Structure 1
Amino acid sequence: MFETSRPLRFSNCDPAGIAYFPSYIDMLVGVTEDFFTDIGAPWTTLIHERRIGVPTVRLDVTFAKPAFHGDRLDFTLRVVGIGRSSLDFAHHVAVGGDTVWTASQRLVATSLKNHRPIAWPDDIRTTLSHHLEVNDAQGPAT
């Protein structure tokens, strides 16, 4: 599991001071990028040197309650599935221990030469496998 926090800034909120939901998606992308950096596969290296893209191909978000300007959002990212080219994450976001929103996300490794799916390189797959959390209720990624 990967954990980090982000402040909910004025720029992330609507005029009433409530989090603007597209800002959540922007934050989720940042947390995902930070996870890859944390495991030794920074996106700058993947994109510019290895020519590997990691686009999100599926994202399912459930909002539980509002967050407000000044709140600290606590993000938890779990690797829940690794396929040939896909990678599934489960995200949990809380304020003070209370769930604000959750998301399931699927990324796919792609070649930046032709934008087609590719198998995760062995070194990245091995690292991701060390972070995989097995849940008997959830099948493997494809």
Structure 2
Amino acid sequence: MLTYDRAVRFEEVDAAGIVFFPIFLNYCHDAMAALFEPLEGGYVRLVMERRIGLPTVHVEADYRAPLRYGDVARLEVKLLHVGSRSFSLGYTITRAADGLPVAEVKHVVVTTDLDAMRAVPIPSDMRALLVRLSAASAP
């Protein structure tokens, strides 16, 4: 399991003063990018040099409580499934200050060659990282 903390920024709240619902998906993407930072060159090299993309093909979200400007979102990231060309991540989002459950997100991505724009097998270094995440997520 990966734990990723993300402060709520002023521009992320709506007129009601709470985080606008699609922003939670940005938080999940930030956590996914952090997950791949241990790779040589991190997520930036994965996308910009290796030309491996991780486009979303499915997402589900359940919202339980609001976050406000000044809160810190804590995302716990777990591997739910890994296939040959895709994987699923689960995010449990809480308010870091008190552990209040805020949202649950399921996110499926496909490993993609960004130049050919087609699905490709998950590279071995990425797969190894996902397997380590899975082992760390096990009870």
Fold conserved between structures, TM > 0.5: yes
Aligned mates of 1:46, 1:69 — CA distance in 2: 32
Aligned mates of 1:18, 1:45 — CA distance in 2: 34
The amino acid that maps onto 1:110 is T
The amino acid that maps onto 1:109 is T
Alignment RMSD (CA, Å): 1.7
Q: Quote the residue 1:106 is aligned against.
A: 108
The amino acid that maps onto 2:119 is P
Unaligned runs of at least 5 residues, structure 1: 136-142
Aligned mates of 2:41, 2:90 — CA distance in 1: 19
The amino acid that maps onto 1:131 is L
How much identity, in percent, do the aligned residues show? 26
TM-score of the aligned structures, taking structure 2 as reference length? 0.88
Three-state SS of the structure 1 residue aligned to 2:129 is helix
Aligned mates of 1:113, 1:7 — CA distance in 2: 34
Three-state SS of the structure 1 residue aligned to 2:37 is helix
Q: Is the 8 A contact 1:78 1:91 kept in 2?
A: yes
2:5 matched to 1:5?
A: yes
Unaligned runs of at least 5 residues, structure 2: none
4+ runs deviating over 4 angstroms = none
The amino acid that maps onto 1:113 is D
Alignment of 1:45-64 (within 5 A): 45-64=45-64
How many residues align? The count is 135
TM-score of the aligned structures, taking structure 1 as reference length? 0.86
